[in-house]
Amino acid sequence: MNKVIYSLGASVFSKLIILLINIISFRYILPDEYGFIALVLALTATIGAVSNMGASVAVNSFVAKNKNTNLSKLYVKYNYILSTFLSLFLSTLIFFLSVDRQGSIVDLGVYLFLLLFTLFSAYNSISEAVLNGMKGFDKIFKNNLINFFIFLPVSIFFIYQFSVLGVFLSLILYRFSLFVFNFYSAKKILSIQATKISKADLSIIKSSFRNLTFPVIFSGILVAPVIGFSFKLMSSQQDGYENLAYFNIIYQMYLVAVFIPNALNGYLISKFSSENGEKDFSKIAKYNIGFSIIVAVMLFLFKDLYFYIIDSKNDVIINNFYIMLLTIIFFSVNAIFASLWPSVNRAWFGMWMNLIWAVTLLSVTYILSSQNVAESLAWAFLASYLVLTIIQFLFYKGVSNEKI
Three-class SS of 291-355? HHHHHHHHHHHCHHHHHHHHCCCCHHHHHHHHHHHHHHHHHHHHHHHHHHHHHCCCHHHHHHHHH
Residue 29 DSSP SS3? coil
Give the per-residue pLDDT at 272: 55
Over residues 80-105, the pLDDT tens digits come to 888 888 888 888 887 877 666 666 67
Give the per-residue pLDDT at 265: 55
* DSSP string computed for 55-106: HHHHHHHHHHHH-SSHHHHHHHHHHHHHHHHHHHHHHHHHHHHH----SSHH
Over residues 273-294, the pLDDT tens digits come to 555 555 566 777 777 788 888 8
Q: Where are the beta strands (DSSP E) in 154-202?
A: none
How far apart, in whole angstroms, are the C-alpha atoms of residue 336 and residue 329? 11
How far apart, in whole angstroms, are the C-alpha atoms of residue 377 and residue 231? 8
CB 329 within 8 A of CB 292: yes
Ordered per-residue pLDDT tens for the chain, 404 residues: 566 678 777 777 887 888 889 999 998 888 888 998 888 888 787 666 655 555 677 788 788 888 777 788 888 888 888 888 888 888 888 787 766 666 667 778 888 998 999 889 889 988 988 898 888 888 999 999 999 999 999 999 999 899 889 999 999 999 999 999 999 998 887 765 556 777 777 788 788 777 777 777 776 666 667 888 888 888 888 888 899 999 999 998 998 888 655 555 555 555 555 555 555 667 777 777 888 888 899 999 999 999 999 988 889 999 999 999 999 999 988 877 776 776 666 767 777 888 899 899 999 999 999 888 999 999 999 999 999 989 888 887 766 655 54
Give the per-residue pLDDT at 379: 97
Give the per-residue pLDDT at 154: 92
How far apart, in whole angstroms, are the C-alpha atoms of residue 60 and residue 263? 13
Give the per-residue pLDDT at 168: 92
Domain extents for the chain?
2-399
How far apart, in whole angstroms, are the C-alpha atoms of residue 212 and residue 96? 30
How far apart, in whole angstroms, are the C-alpha atoms of residue 57 and residue 49? 11
Distant-in-sequence contacts of 171-174, Cβ < 8 A, 24+ apart = 171/18, 171/21, 171/41, 171/113, 171/117, 172/113, 172/116, 172/117, 172/120, 174/17, 174/21, 174/147
What element of type H or E holds 49? helix 31-66
Closest among 244, 271, 291 to 344, alpha carbons compared: 271
How far apart, in whole angstroms, are the C-alpha atoms of residue 188 and residue 139? 11
Over residues 373-390, the pLDDT tens digits come to 999 999 999 999 999 989
How many Cβ atoms from other residues are within 10 Å of residue 77's Cβ? 15
How many Cβ atoms from other residues are within 10 Å of residue 159's Cβ? 22
How many Cβ atoms from other residues are within 10 Å of residue 348's Cβ? 16
Over residues 151-174, the pLDDT tens digits come to 999 999 999 899 889 999 999 999
Give the per-residue pLDDT at 268: 57
Closest among 371, 366, 367, 381 to 247, alpha carbons compared: 381
231: left (phi over 0), alpha (psi -120 to 50) or beta: alpha
How far apart, in whole angstroms, are the C-alpha atoms of residue 259 and residue 11? 6
Give the per-residue pLDDT at 262: 59
How far apart, in whole angstroms, are the C-alpha atoms of residue 111 and residue 116? 9
The radius of gyration of the chain's CA atoms, rounded to the nearest angstrom, is 20
How far apart, in whole angstroms, are the C-alpha atoms of residue 167 and residue 163? 7
How far apart, in whole angstroms, are the C-alpha atoms of residue 90 and residue 118? 9
* DSSP string computed for 228-270: HHHHHHHHHSTTHHHHHHHHHHHHHHHHHHTHHHHHHHHHHHH
CB 380 within 8 A of CB 361: yes
